[in-house]
């Protein structure tokens, strides 16, 4: 068993997973093609959260 190899593998997973999560969050926050639809969805989600 080589701990160094395991560390490198987990590091590779991290470098792959984190940008994907950031991309998903950015897309959900800033919808490019239709900002109006995105604003409406954000407002509906905020309304659901506040009630």
Domain regions of the chain by residue span: 3-50
Is the CB of residue 50 less than 8 Å from the CB of residue 43? no
Which tens digit of pLDDT belongs to each residue from 40-51? 777 777 788 777
The average pLDDT across 10-16 equals: 74
Is the CB of residue 31 less than 8 Å from the CB of residue 38? yes
Residue 17 has pLDDT above 70, yes or no: yes
Residue 5 has pLDDT above 60, yes or no: no
Distance from C-alpha of 35 to C-alpha of 29, rounded to nearest angstrom: 10
What's the mean pLDDT when you consider all of the chain?
Answer: 69
- Structure confidence at residue 7 as a pLDDT band (50, 70, 90): low
Q: What pLDDT score was predicted for residue 49?
A: 79
Is the CB of residue 26 less than 8 Å from the CB of residue 32? no
């Amino acid at each position: 068993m080589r701990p160094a190899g395991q560390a490198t593998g987990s590091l590779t997973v991290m470098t792959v997973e984190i940008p994907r999560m950031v991309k998903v969050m950015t897309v959900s926050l800033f919808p490019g093609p239709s900002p109006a639809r995105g604003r409406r969805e954000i407002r509906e989600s905020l309304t659901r959260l506040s009630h």
